[in-house]
Amino acid sequence: MSEIIVTSQDELDAALDEHGDDLTAHIVIDSPAGVRLSLVRETPNRARVSVRGVSQVGPVGGSATVSGVRDSATVRDVRDSATVRGVRDSATVRDVWDSATVSGVRDSATVSGVRDSATVRGVRDSATVRDVWDSATVSGVGDSATVRDVRGSATVRDVRGSATVRDVWDSATVSDVWGSATVSGVRDSATVRDVVGTASLRLSDCATAEHVGPHVTVMVHSVHVTVDGGHIVDLSGLDQHDPEMWIDLVGARRDGDAVLLYKAVDDDYMAGHGHIVTRHPVGETVTATDWRADHDCGGGLHVSPTPYQARSYATRATRMLLVRVPVATLRSIGLDKCKTPTLTVVREVTLDGDEIEVTA
C-alpha cells in the first residue's frame, strides 16, 4: 500500500479507523506549521505511522506507536505505554513519561523531559537526550551523542565511542562506560561504575566511581569523592568558583579586564529558547533581565569557553558569536559553561569559531 498522507486531525482519525490494523499501511503525518495532532489509541495501531516536515504531534498515548519521526517534526507528551522510534534528522521528542519508550535516536535529533519509568535507547551520532529524571533509563549511548541533566534515580548505561554524559546528580547512576566516552559534572550522591578504556570522569561533591579501569582519567574536584581505581587527577584544592581560576582551567583568552567566550544563537541572533529568549546583536551590549549571582544554571546570560561547548547547549544554533564578558561578574557553572549579567557581542564567527571572511 502506498503512503496515506494526512494533514489534519480528522484525516488522521479517519486513516487510523480504516487502516489502523493493516500491517501494510503507512500513514504519514505531514501537517502545516502550527497544527498539532493527537494520537491516543486504546489498542496498538498496527499500521506504520510516521511524522515528517514541520508536523507537531501530541499527546501520543495509550498503546499508540509512532514508527518514524524526521525532518523538523516534533512529537510531545508521550505517555502511558506509547512507543516512538526512529527519531532522526533535526526532529524533537519531548516530555516522555509513564512507561513510554523512545528508541533509535540519531543524527541531530533531540529527546527531552524523560521521566517516571520511561525508556530511551539507541542514542547515537550527534543526537541529544536531556532532562532525564525519576526512574527513567537511557541506554546505548554512542558515537558523538550527548546525554545531560541526569538526576533523581535515573540510569544511563552503555556509554561508548566519544559519547558524552554530563551533569549527573542526586542519586543517578551511569554504568558501563568505555571507549573514549566522557562523563562529567557527577555530583551529589551520583554513581559511575564499570568504566574502562580511555574514558574520562569528572567528579565532585560526594559522587562515587566504582570499578574504574587503570587507563581511565578521573578528575576529582572534592575531598568527599570516592573512587575505586583509575588514574586520579586531584583538583580538589582548586576553587572553580574563582573567575581567575576558572579562566585558567578552561584556557579562555583574556582581553583586558574581560574574557572572550562564545555564544550560540539562531538565524535571528536569538538565544535562551528554553528560558528567556534574548537577542544578541553584533556590536551591542546585552543585559540579562533575570540575573542571579550564584553558580547554578539559569538566572543570567550563559556562554562557553569554546564554540563546540556553546553548540552543545543549543543544538539547533545556526550562528556563533564571540562575546566579551567582564571577569568581575563571571559566575562559573561548570568547566564548559558560565554565566554573566552582561556581555558585549564582539563579532560573528563560524560555527567552529573561525573568523568570517568579509567579501567586497
How far is it, in rounded angstroms, from Cα 41 to Cα 82?
9
pLDDT of residue 267: 93
Cβ contacts of 187-191, under 8 Å, gap ≥ 24: 190/150
Q: Which residues of 341-352 are buried (b: 16+ CB within 10 A; e: fewer)?
A: bebbbbebbeee
Tell me the longest C-alpha to C-alpha distance in the chain.
Answer: 69
- Model confidence at 313, in pLDDT bands (50, 70, 90)? confident
Mean pLDDT (the chain, rounded): 93
pTM (two decimals):
0.75
- Model confidence at 275, in pLDDT bands (50, 70, 90)? confident
**Would you say residue 292 has pLDDT above 80?**
yes
How far is it, in rounded angstroms, from Cα 56 to Cα 356?
35
**Would you say residue 261 has pLDDT above 90?**
yes
pLDDT of residue 30: 97
- Model confidence at 26, in pLDDT bands (50, 70, 90)? very high
Give me the mean pLDDT over the 233-240 stretch. Answer: 88
**Would you say residue 72 has pLDDT above 90?**
yes
Name residue 191's beta-bridge partners. 173, 208
How far is it, in rounded angstroms, from Cα 105 to Cα 245?
38
Give me the mean pLDDT over the 146-162 stretch. Answer: 93
- Model confidence at 31, in pLDDT bands (50, 70, 90)? very high
∠ at Cα 176 (76, 94), nearest 5°?
A: 5
Tell me how long the chain is.
360
- pLDDT tens, position by position, 103-137: 999 999 999 999 999 999 999 999 999 889 999 99
Please state, as a whole number, how many other Cβ atoms lie within 10 Å of the Cβ of residue 150: 29
For residues 199 and 216, the answer to whether their CB atoms sit within 8 Å is: yes
Selection from 41, 43, 2, 44 nearest residue 25 by Cα: 2
Give me the mean pLDDT over the 242-270 stretch. Answer: 94
Q: What is the dotted CATH code of the domain comprising 243-349?
A: 3.20.170
Grid cell locating 258: 574581560
- Range in 91-95, 237-241, 339-343 with the lowest mean pLDDT: 237-241
For residues 250 and 304, the answer to whether their CB atoms sit within 8 Å is: no
Residue type at 280? H
pLDDT of residue 238: 85
**Would you say residue 217 has pLDDT above 60?**
yes
Output the CA–CA distances (angstroms, integers) from residue 260 to 106, 222, 242, 306, 323, in the order listed: 32, 28, 17, 10, 6
How far is it, in rounded angstroms, from Cα 244 to Cα 241?
9
Output the CA–CA distances (angstroms, integers) from residue 313 to 147, 155, 272, 283, 297, in the order listed: 11, 21, 10, 23, 12
pLDDT of residue 311: 85
Selection from 202, 134, 119 nearest residue 171 by Cα: 134
Selection from 148, 176, 149, 182 nearest residue 163 by Cα: 182
How far is it, in rounded angstroms, from Cα 210 to Cα 272?
37
pLDDT of residue 39: 97
pLDDT of residue 21: 93
Query: What DSSP line would sit under 59-122, residue for residue?
Result: EEEET-EE-EE-TT-EEEEE-TT-EEEEE-TT-EEEEE-TT-EEEEE-TT-EEEEE-TT-EEEE
The full set of domain ranges for the chain reads 243-349
